[in-house]
C-alpha cells in the first residue's frame, strides 16, 4: 500500500494501464461485453499512444450511449396467448399491480400500449394487438404499429402460430430485424396431460411433441430453421425462458446490452451473475474514466458527502438485485416468514453499519487489499481510480451474493411445496385405490 503516484504518467504507467484494460475486457465473451469491439480497440489504441485524454473521451462517450440506450421490445400474438402475462413477467410486475399489462381470456389489447420497466430506465415493452384483429389487418400492420422503432419482436402463441403471424415474421426478416417465436402456457399443457394420462405421463416427451408441432406448423409456411421457445409465464426458470434471454442478449448491439441485462429477473444464479458482470463492467469503465486524468492518491479521506453517495449506490444495487426492503417484505409475505428472518441470512443490509472501533476508511483499505490480491495490484498503474470504486465493487459483490441466497431460499421452499403436493397426491390416489379394491 506504499505505492507512490506521479502527476505525470510515464510510458510504463501507460503500458500497465493498457495491459490492465486489455486483460480485463478480453476476459469477457463478445456476447456479454457492454462496449463494442470498435470502442474497445479505440481505447486500446489511445492507451498505446499515451493519449489519456483520448481514452477518457472514448470511454465517456461510450458510457453516455450505454446509459441512454433505449430498448423497445414489441410483443404480439392472438388474444389469450399470454403476451400480456409475458410482459408482466419480464417487468417482474404482478397482474394485480396498477402498472401491470391487462390480462384476460378475451381480446384485452385493442391499441398499442407501452409498459416501462419499473427498475431499468429506457427499457419499454410494447403490447401490440394481434395481427388480423379488426383495426390491425395484415396489409398495414407494420405501418400501424410503427415497425421501425422496435429492436425486436416476440411473437407469442399458446397453441399454434397462424399464417398471419408467419407472414409477420417473414416481413420482419425482410426488414432486417429479429423476431422470436414463443410458445407460452406449456405448464398448463403439462398439467392437463398429467391429469388425463397419470400413468403414462412423460414430461420430456410432451414438451418435444409441443415443440415439434410448432416447428412443423412454421416450416409448412416455408420458414427455414425456425426456433421456438417454450415458456411458462409463471415459472420463468423452467423450460426455455433462460435460453430465450441468452439469445436476446447475444443478438442485441453491445451498447444496448447493459440495460437489458439489468432487467433480467433473478430466476437462476446464471441470470444474477450476468447482471452482476454487466454492472461490474459499467463501474469499472466509469472508474477508469475518472481515474485516467486524476493526479491524487487512491486512498483519500472519505467525507460525509462520500458516505451519502455510497448509501445511494448501495440502495441502487439492492433495488436492482431485489434485496431492497420492499422486495424482502414481499418475499417474506409470500414465504410466510418474518422479514427479519430473511434479513438474518443477508449481508448487504449491514454493509454500512460499523462497530465503534471500525471506520469507513478501514473498510476501504480492506477492499483495496482484496482488489489488489485478486487483480495483481491497484489496476497495475500509478493512475487514480476514484476512491469509492473499491467500495462500490464490495457493495456489488455482497448484494449479488445476497440475491443468490434469496434465490436458493425460494428454490428450497418451492421444492418443499412440490414434495408436499406430491406426497398428498400419492395419499389421495392410495385412498381411492383402497376404496375401489
Query: pLDDT by residue (tens digit) across 92-142?
Result: 888 888 888 887 645 555 789 999 999 998 999 999 988 877 777 777 888
- Strands of the 71-77 sheet, one edge to the other: 113-116, 123-127, 71-77, 152-157, 178-183, 228-230
For residue 417, the model assigns a pLDDT of 47
Question: How many percent of the chain have pLDDT more than 70?
Answer: 77
Cα 11 versus chain centre, distance: 40
Cell reading at 150: 422496435
Query: pLDDT by residue (tens digit) across 327-375?
Result: 898 888 877 888 888 888 999 988 887 665 566 667 766 666 666 555 5
Q: Once rounded to an integer, what is the mean pLDDT over residues 300-319? A: 77
For residue 9, the model assigns a pLDDT of 53
Highest mean pLDDT, choosing among 29-43, 347-361, 371-385: 29-43
Query: pLDDT by residue (tens digit) across 141-167?
Result: 888 888 889 999 999 999 889 888 898
For residue 138, the model assigns a pLDDT of 77
Pairing of strands 113-116, 123-127: antiparallel
**Where are the domains positioned within the chain?**
11-36+266-419, 69-262
Residue 423 CB-density burial (10 A; 0-12 exposed, 13-18 middle, 19+ buried): exposed
Q: Which of 387, 299, 383, 384 is nearest to 12 (CA)?
A: 383
Contacts of 40 (CB under 8 A, 6+ apart): 25, 33
What CATH class does 69-262 carry?
A: alpha beta
Mean pLDDT of the chain: 81
Q: Once rounded to an integer, what is the mean pLDDT over residues 44-53? A: 88
For residue 136, the model assigns a pLDDT of 76
Q: Look at the pTM and tell me if it is higher than 0.95.
A: no
Amino acid at each position: 500500500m506504499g505505492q507512490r503516484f506521479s502527476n505525470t504518467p510515464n510510458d510504463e504507467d501507460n503500458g500497465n494501464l493498457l495491459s490492465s484494460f486489455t486483460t480485463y475486457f478480453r476476459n469477457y465473451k463478445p456476447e456479454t461485453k457492454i462496449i463494442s469491439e470498435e470502442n474497445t480497440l479505440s481505447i486500446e489504441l489511445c492507451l498505446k499512444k499515451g493519449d489519456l485524454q483520448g481514452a477518457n473521451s472514448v470511454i465517456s462517450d461510450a458510457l453516455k450511449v450505454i446509459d441512454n440506450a433505449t430498448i423497445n421490445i414489441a410483443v404480439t400474438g392472438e388474444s389469450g396467448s399470454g403476451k400480456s402475462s409475458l410482459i408482466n413477467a419480464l417487468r417482474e410486475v404482478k397482474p394485480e399491480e396498477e402498472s401491470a399489462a391487462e390480462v384476460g381470456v378475451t381480446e384485452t389489447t385493442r391499441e398499442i400500449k407501452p409498459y416501462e420497466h419499473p427498475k431499468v430506465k429506457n427499457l419499454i415493452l410494447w403490447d401490440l394487438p394481434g395481427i388480423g384483429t379488426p383495426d390491425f389487418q395484415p396489409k398495414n400492420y407494420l405501418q400501424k404499429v410503427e415497425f421501425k422503432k422496435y429492436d425486436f419482436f416476440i411473437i407469442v402463441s399458446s397453441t399454434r402460430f397462424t399464417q398471419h403471424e408467419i407472414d409477420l415474421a417473414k416481413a420482419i426478416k425482410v426488414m432486417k430485424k429479429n423476431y422470436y417465436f414463443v410458445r407460452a402456457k406449456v405448464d398448463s399443457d403439462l398439467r392437463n396431460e398429467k391429469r388425463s394420462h397419470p400413468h403414462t405421463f412423460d414430461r420430456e416427451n410432451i414438451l418435444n411433441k409441443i415443440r415439434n408441432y410448432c416447428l412443423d406448423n412454421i416450416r409448412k409456411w416455408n420458414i427455414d430453421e425456425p426456433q421456438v421457445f417454450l415458456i411458462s409465464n409463471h415459472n420463468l426458470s423452467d423450460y426455455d425462458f433462460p435460453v430465450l434471454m441468452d439469445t436476446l442478449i447475444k443478438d442485441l448491439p453491445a451498447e444496448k446490452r447493459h440495460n437489458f441485462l439489468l432487467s433480467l429477473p433473478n430466476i437462476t444464479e446464471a441470470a444474477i451473475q450476468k447482471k452482476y458482470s454487466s454492472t461490474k463492467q459499467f463501474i469499472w469503465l466509469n472508474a477508469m474514466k475518472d481515474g485516467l486524468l486524476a493526479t491524487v492518491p487512491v486512498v483519500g479521506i472519505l467525507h460525509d458527502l462520500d458516505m451519502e453517495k455510497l448509501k445511494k449506490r448501495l440502495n441502487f444495487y439492492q433495488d436492482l438485485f431485489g434485496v431492497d426492503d420492499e422486495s424482502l417484505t414481499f418475499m417474506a409475505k409470500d414465504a410466510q416468514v418474518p422479514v427479519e428472518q430473511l434479513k438474518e441470512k443477508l449481508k448487504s443490509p449491514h454493509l454500512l453499519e460499523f462497530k465503534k472501533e471500525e471506520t469507513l476508511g478501514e473498510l476501504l483499505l480492506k477492499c483495496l487489499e482484496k482488489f489488489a490480491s485478486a487483480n495483481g495490484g491497484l489496476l497495475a498503474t500509478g493512475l487514480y481510480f476514484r476512491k469509492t470504486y473499491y467500495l462500490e465493487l464490495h457493495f456489488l459483490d455482497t448484494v449479488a451474493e445476497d440475491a443468490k441466497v434469496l434465490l436458493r431460499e425460494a428454490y428450497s421452499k418451492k421444492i418443499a411445496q412440490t414434495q408436499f403436493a406430491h406426497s398428498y397426491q400419492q395419499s389421495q390416489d392410495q385412498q381411492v385405490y383402497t376404496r375401489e379394491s
